[in-house]
Amino acid sequence: MSLRLSTVILPVRRWHEGGKERWQRAEELGFHTAYTYDHLSWRTFRDGPWFGAVPTLTAAAAATDRLRLGTLVTSPNFRHPVTLAKGLITLDDVSDGRITLGIGAGGNGFDATALLKSGEEPWTPRERADHFGEFLPLLDRLLTEDVVSYEGEYYSASEVRNIPGCVQRPRLPFAVAATGPRGLKLAARHGQAWVTTGDPKLFENGTPEQSLQAIRGQAEKLATACDAIGRDVAELDKILLTGFTPDRPLDSFDAFVDFAGNHAELGFNEIVLHWPLPGTDFAADEKVFERIATEALVQLGGSTAGA
């Protein structure tokens, strides 16, 4: 399976002040997919510009021709399956079938608290997993069936119509972000891809070798989850979102080649790099970034980036 290279473009630029050009440049550089985060606001970016994921991707779809587009990741923190499905079907149509939905259970932070009433507590990790366990199967149905009725513990749908459905059949692909047993089971059952950022406990104090071993363990658990339902784990793409491990793959071209090669040996076939943002945790030399985009996969013996 050939290695692909993708990028994450944070939605921090006004569309007519450099935002549009960034997505078009991603296509010119040959990235396989350009993703964006789906948050209401995020970490240190909370008090600065931050635009909505679905409208941004819709605009990006209109501004590009070949580039795949997606979220990395959407979560139930502020989404409902019914309204999300309608937006995704529209986005898949506008893009002519170039959308991937990265999706996960979500976490703490502003998304988890923005919609709470005074005195309400955000979901615990168990409650987030409970919601995700109901959210994802319902979203699957909403994107594949013309009419859906459902009543669950957290979500409902009453004769919801989603005609004509996705351009991609039977629906647009799910890239499920998961490391725990419940999430991995959902990835095995509903995913066309699996996403990991590595082990967060190793980010600040771990070593690259420890991180590689932890990710190997996660991949093995995914294989076990697939075996349990009779699915071949090779059917799922394996996506690594960089920037959250002890490695520094954007420090140099050679550093990336070594990093990518090590993770490709674990079965990863898509590596995602954050587009450099000066003055942030994602600062990097843009010349190195662009060289990686255009030359690294050839050196690794993989496909071209956009293949």
Alpha carbon of residue 138 to chain centroid:
19
Query: How far apart (Å, rounded) are the C-alpha atoms in residues 33 and 5?
Result: 8
How much is the pLDDT for 306?
46
* Pairing, β 156-161 against β 147-151: antiparallel
Q: How confident is the model at residue 39 (pLDDT cuts 50, 70, 90)?
A: very high
Which amino acid, residue 133? G
Q: How confident is the model at residue 305 (pLDDT cuts 50, 70, 90)?
A: very low
pLDDT in tens, 141-163: 999 999 999 999 999 999 999 99
pLDDT in tens, 85-102: 999 999 999 999 999 999
Query: How far apart (Å, rounded) are the C-alpha atoms in residues 3 and 227?
Result: 24
Mean pLDDT on 235-262: 97
Unique residue bearing structure tokens 């996969």: 297
How much is the pLDDT for 175?
98
Q: Is the pTM of this model over 0.85?
A: yes
The answer to whether residues 29 and 296 touch, using CB atoms and an 8 Å cutoff, is no
Mean pLDDT on 111-140: 96
How much is the pLDDT for 1?
59
DSSP 263-275: HHTTT--EEEEEP
DSSP 230-257: T--GGGSEEEEE-SSSS--TTS-HHHHH
Q: What is the DSSP letter of 201?
A: G
Mean pLDDT on 160-167: 98
How much is the pLDDT for 81?
98
Residue 112: half-sphere exposure toward Cβ, Cα within 13 Å: 14
Q: What is the chain's length? A: 307
